[in-house]
Amino acid sequence: MFSPIFAAGYAETHYKFRLPWSPLHKPWPEIFLDAPSRVEPRMPWPVWLVLRDANLFPVKIHEIELTISAEGWPLSIQTIGIDTLFAEPFHFFPLNVDLGGRKGNVKVLAKIKASRAGSHIPREFQEWNYPGLAPWPLQVLSQEHPTPKPAGWWAGETHCHTWHSSDPVEFGAPPQVLQQSAKVLGLDYVFCTDHSYDFAFRTDDYRIPANPQLRWQSLKTECAELAPYPLMVPGEEVSCGNSQGRNVHLLVPGFSDFIPGMGDSGRRWFRNHPTLSIAEVMERIGDVPCFAAHPQYPMGLLERMVFRRGPFSSADLHFDREHPICGLEFWNGNRGDGFKAGRNFWIQQLLNGNSILPLGGNDAHGDLNRFTGVKIPLWSLHSSRARIFGKVRTVLKADAPQLSVFNLHESFRRASREASLYVTDGPTITLVAQGNGWIARAFSSPDFGPIDQITLFTGEAGDSIETRRSFTPGSMEWEMCGTAGHKGSYIRVECRSRLGYAALTAALFFA
């Protein structure tokens, strides 16, 4: 059994659950191309040919033909000869793709010519061979300007999955692929938060139990063997119990030990009670910052009844502890219903006088350019560009000049006190204390568009709603300062750009 709701990663299509047939099951490995959705100026654009389950269905890739287009540029057709047999469970084969200096929004159509091992009849796939999904080109924003970010701040992806998250419906990418993608996206750090329950099963065969301690050590080793920058932080998305005994997910990046959590794994049928409670997980990790993953994401009846999942409540944040939950990751790749409900939950905590950070991540399982997922189990797939790696970034003021797991933890702890953090999918918006007041700054770039709207929100404990003030600068830069409010009040800022990008700051509480 498995969950069809959060199955938004590289789609695994060969699981039939002992049934004789499924429209998703084909005697081919999953084959597709993937690449980062943005690339910083003067950086190469890495592209990978991805194959999964080629150990079950060996395949020879003959060649790939790419058609590259961008407004104001001539078409470019590139043919890449591969002529290679693929026969391992995972393959991420790098391709040399030249954008030819194109800027702005670039589209890449791909024709993949392949044949099954032992067959002399080649097949041609447009973009991918996922059954029932229409072809969808790769898209990349080839930036003319660096991504906006103040000096001395670190930007990162706070929720993504490596190939250690491998189950009957999805799989992720190697840490090395994620690191290369993070570099061209202008990220400084990546939290590799793999499912706690997936560590209990093998990567190459998600039906066979494994030693989770050894699997966890493998992820740590893979991250440690990479270059030190961007910083790849091994972690978990721990399945644990809320105050109602329902399964919720807690992001724990950079803790030294493995934390078990099998409650909603789907592999134990109706044995779905949480392994540990939130409080028990927090007791284990001590002062390591942890974050509520998608705290108010809409859930269907199957998730609530069969997988025993539930939302976070105020009681689950444990403000009575010395180290409560540090942040709410409610901006989970898009600004849909889960974002709106999570943002309201965050504001409720602020109006209750609780200082807690907003967090932005993408829950990407690979998903560099788009995600594919199981829509109806064993029957159909869907695809979107909503939750892709590095799209939403969490940016915080560096606590030290050297980027390390320890210093990153310290920076999150400081941000929870000083509001030195913002979340964005484009422009920058910062809010920091200055003297006996505060100063807010916003800036953007032509790639993301001028800042069209700034909104200042103020509130205090006991208020039912926030007070707001709006401005329409219509420029690339904006700045405003003010005096501190009275004790227990707070201020926070949000902004939007003309091209639809947005950013929001943590709340600055006045002592």
Tell me, yes or no, whether 453 lies in a domain.
yes
Domain-ending residue, one of 90, 111, 142: 142
Tell me, yes or no, whether 412 lies in a domain.
Answer: no
Task: Tell me the CATH number at 491.
Answer: 2.60.40.10
> Dihedrals φ, ψ of 50, to 5°?
-110, 130
pLDDT of 322:
93
**pLDDT value for 491:** 98
Per-residue pLDDT of 340-353, as tens digits, reads: 999 999 999 999 99
From residue 197, how far is each of 160, 238, 431 by CA, in Å? 15, 8, 38
* pLDDT beyond 50 at 2: no
**Structure confidence by residue, pLDDT tens digits, 78-117:** 999 999 999 999 999 999 999 999 999 999 999 999 999 9
Which domain covers residue 496, as residue numbers?
426-511
Mean pLDDT of the chain: 93
Distances in whole angstroms, Cα of residue 150 to Cα of each of 39, 388, 435, 504 = 19, 24, 20, 15
pLDDT confidence band for 383 (50 / 70 / 90):
confident
Question: 212-224 and 175-185 helices cross at what angle (nearest 10)?
Answer: 40
Question: Which of 127, 142, 157 is the endpoint of a domain?
Answer: 142
In Å, how far are 162, 164, 176, 237, 487 from 222, measured between CA atoms?
A: 10, 11, 8, 18, 47
User: Does a structural domain hold residue 507?
Assistant: yes
Question: Which residue, 482, 231, 465, is CA-closest to 351?
Answer: 465
pLDDT per residue over 475-487, tens digit each?
999 999 999 999 9
Residue 166 lies in a domain: no
Q: Please name the amino acid found at residue 99.
A: L
User: Quick check: is 232 in a domain?
Assistant: no
Task: State whether residue 149 is helix, strand or coil.
Answer: coil
Q: What is the pLDDT of residues 387-403, one digit of tens each?
A: 899 999 999 999 899 99
Number of domains in the chain: 2
Task: Measure the CA–CA gap between 310 and 304, rounded to whole angstroms.
Answer: 6
Residue that is last in its domain, among 111, 127, 142: 142
pLDDT score of 61 = 98
Closest CA relative to residue 505, chosen from 496, 497, 495, 218 = 495
Least reliable range by pLDDT among 168-172, 263-267, 370-374, 415-419: 263-267
